[in-house]
Structure 1
Amino acid sequence: MSTPTTPVTSTRSGAASPRRRILAQAAFEVGSLLRNGEQLLVSLVLPAMALVGLSLTSSPSLGPGRRIDVATAGVIALCVISSAFTAQAISTGFDRRYAVLRYLGVTPLGRSGLVAAKVLATLAVEVVQVGVIAVLGAALGWRPQASGIAFAVLFVVVGTWAFVALALLLAGTLRAEAVLAIANLVWVLLLGLGGVIVPRTELPAGVSHVAAYLPSAGLADGLRSALVAGQLNLVALVVVLAWGLLATVLAARLFRFDD
């Protein structure tokens, strides 16, 4: 695994501004994510396959609403989880193992700049993901509610924050091998039982009650309310915000830059 280096930019005064340093590092992070075949598989190929599969079958039940509309909203939620949690947890865990984070933390970029760059990089990757899924969904008959697009953007941004914070909490407290295993396991569990692809209302009663408090179901429920019904789901928003705040506080306290 090659060791990343912070891109060097300069201004007329001889030193790059914090904004330019963050943007340069974010661009590097995006390139690293897009060149990683495994992460592309999880972040884009599998969600696209899930969308096609759901659109061509009648099982599992996705509840009320046009099937393609409900499915596309869920797949967008899956894209956010894949990029913000799974990909970031794994990449950060191995960067920490190979002392990349310690190196970057003492450069002019700084620790706060590194975190900001990771969030920006995740959002940039998600733009690509959502764009691909939207085009694919439209080809399959997806027609989102225009009145809910702003609410959907809100959930994508808040969901990205919550899942990046969870990724940093995981990657900053466990060894890289454990992060790799747990991040992939959590992705599978959330896909099947977290109310992402299959709405939590269609899950067994016991599982549905637990899923209601998960950030995955909050994100997916919020996107479905926005894109299918054109409404803001305040309960789902509170769930995602609560997870984001909790994970941010814990990550700030427990994250270690050294393995």
Structure 2
Amino acid sequence: MSTGTFTPDPGGAPLGRQVMAQAGMEARLILRNGEQLLLAVVIPVVVLLGGIVASKRIDLNLSERPIDLLAPGVLALAIMSTAFTSTAIATGFERRYGVIKRLGASPLPRHGLLLGKVLALLVVEAFQIVVVAALALSLGWDPSVSILGVLLASVLGTAAFGALGLLVAGLLRAEATLAFANLVYLLLMVGGAVVIPVDEYGALGQVVRWLPSGALGESMREALIHGSPAWIPLLVLVGWAAVGAALTARTFRWE
């Protein structure tokens, strides 16, 4: 049979195209889902507005202006909500309904699926950052921006929480993942030093600074208040990302 008899030539698309197609689909699914959109945008906006109102009525004894302190923390919260909670819940139900299993039989390799999910998270987070930053600027936020610091915090925070979200989704049933991911999100939002600096937690601050939430919050605050990368918190995020990725690779089940 001569070469070129069949057009197009059967076979999988290049890995880059597969990953981009998967990322586009994942991003659209997140933004179309009302519950995911609530976590991604509405809750961070409510936390920011609620924190500003509370700061006017209660003497919180903050080291910076409330808006300058809260805005970086809420940006960190937005990243955590998407990278961890949304990823865990969506992936858990994808496993339950057999979506992950069918993707496993496609030409897209496992690492391609994970890359697609991470790229989708970054797209959604860019949307979140624009919305939250625009609101904060309208409320008088005056950041001192380290672009490198913000980029490193966003990417490493996404990697750390995304890996942990996939770890949870790969180990628990869908309903258990839903409950557990929301519980962890609420606990970290209140007590994980993501919105409020670790210094405000007293002796507990020496513990929560090593959590991924505390490291992400401190990285964002250092980058947007003092205008420089926070290297130690960033290294903490690298450690969580490495541990989460290693555990996910060993334990993640397609069904």
Bin of the TM-score, shorter chain as denominator length: over 0.9
Residue 156 of structure 2 corresponds to 158
Separation (CA, whole Å) in 2 of partners of 1:157 and 1:67: 26
Q: Does 1:85 align with 2:84?
A: yes
SS in 1 for 2:142: coil
Quote how far apart the aligned CAs of 1:12 are.
6.4
CA distance in 2, matches of 1:198, 1:79: 14
Give the aligned residue type for 1:31: R
How is 1:1-259 mapped onto 2 (pairs within 5 angstroms)?
15-58=12-55, 59=58, 61=60, 63-146=62-145, 148-205=146-203, 207-258=204-255
Among the aligned pairs, what percent are the same residue? 45
**Conserved 8 A contact 2:78-2:125:** yes
Aligned length: 246
**Offset, 1:109:** 1.5
User: 2: CA distance between counterparts of 1:93 and 1:228?
Assistant: 37
AA aligned opposite 1:82: S
The 1:132/1:99 distance shift into structure 2, 3 A limit, reads same
**2-structure distance, mates of 1:204, 1:64:** 14
In the alignment, the residues of structure 2 paired with residue 51 and residue 160 of structure 1 have an alpha-carbon distance, to the nearest angstrom, of 21
Question: Which of 1 and 2 has greater Rg?
Answer: 2
TM-score, normalised via structure 2 length: 0.92
Long gaps (5+) in structure 2? 1-6
**Shift >6 Å, 4+ stretches:** none
Q: What is the alpha-carbon distance in structure 2 between the residues aligned to residue 200 and residue 60 of structure 1?
A: 18
**Distance in 1, Cα, partners of 2:54 & 2:98:** 47
**Cα 1:103/1:182, change in 2 over 3 Å:** same
TM-superposed deviation, 1:65:
1.7
Stretches of structure 1 lacking an aligned partner (at least 5 in a row): 1-10
RMSD: 1.6
Instruction: Decide whether the 8 Å contact of 2:27 with 2:123 is kept in 1.
Output: yes
Call closer, same or farther: CA 1:62–1:179 in 2, change over 3 Å: farther
